[in-house]
Amino acid sequence: MDPITKETADGLALLDQLDVCGPLVDEFVQGVCAVLCREVPQDEAALLTEKYSPSLGGTAASNRLFAAVVSVVTEAAKADAMPDNLLVALEEAGLGSGSAKKLTAIFECRREELRFNLRRTGLTGLRHLVDVEWRLDYHIRSSGTGVENVPVYLVALQTKGADGSIESQKLTLSQEQMLDFLATVKDANKQIDRILTLN
């Protein structure tokens, strides 16, 4: 699991305020998980933040806490983090031991539900590229076009699914198609670099 950002850690620090008030941490985190697992309508999120805003000093603080818990829980579910790893990450982010243990215990109970909902609604269900193999070949003669001695790329993309299954997709590309394919991959890489430099 990636380290928790400072902004998220600042939001999570508000859990310690709820921890002083008794069982409110459990109720709040369970409420967030219920929204994420679609057990309650999405507008319940607003009711949840309103309910706890007096204990946290206002709606803005309650919204920050909600966003922080959503961030941590979804990132942990996406990474399939083990509870011990989540606990360490929370404590390293400065969350009090009591709040960190409560959040971790709830995550442990709801981890599979959260992962299921991520697969159903997000990118977790998409296959991930794990290997690319290619070779250059020549078509001596094509019966359809009559073209002779044309270079052709044979490309095999191995992908891994959320369930761990490996599949191979095989492509046959002309030189022009290969150049288009590479240009598309380079454009996507540049876009990711731009996004990362903005953060």
This model's pTM is above 0.85: no
Closest CA to 10 of 76, 61, 84, 50: 61
Where does the pLDDT of residue 26 fall: very low under 50, low under 70, confident under 90, or very high at 90 and above? Answer: confident
What is the rounded CA–CA span in Å between residue 81 and residue 89?
10
Q: How confident is the model at residue 53 (pLDDT cuts 50, 70, 90)?
A: confident
**Residue pLDDT, tens place only, 96-107:** 888 899 999 999
State the average pLDDT over residues 3-17: 88
Report the C-alpha gap between 6 and 19 in whole angstroms.
Answer: 20
> Which residues have CB under 8 Å from 129's CB, separation 6+?
157, 158, 159
CA distance 86 to 8: 14
Q: 78: closest CA among 90, 86, 67? A: 86
The yes-or-no verdict on residue 49 having pLDDT over 90 is no
User: Is 30 a residue whose pLDDT tops 70?
Assistant: yes
159-195 pLDDT tens trace = 887 677 889 999 999 889 999 999 988 888 888 777 7
Beta strands 128-141 and 148-160 are antiparallel
- Calpha distance 11→66 (Å, rounded): 8
Look at residue 197 and tell me whether its pLDDT is greater than 80. no
Task: Give me the count of residues in the chain.
Answer: 199
CA pair distance 16, 86, nearest whole angstrom: 17
In this structure, the dihedral spanned by the alpha carbons of residues 89, 70, 49 and 108, taken in order and rounded to 10 degrees, is: -70
DSSP string, 28-57: HHHHHHHHHTTSS-TTHHHHHHHHHHHHHT
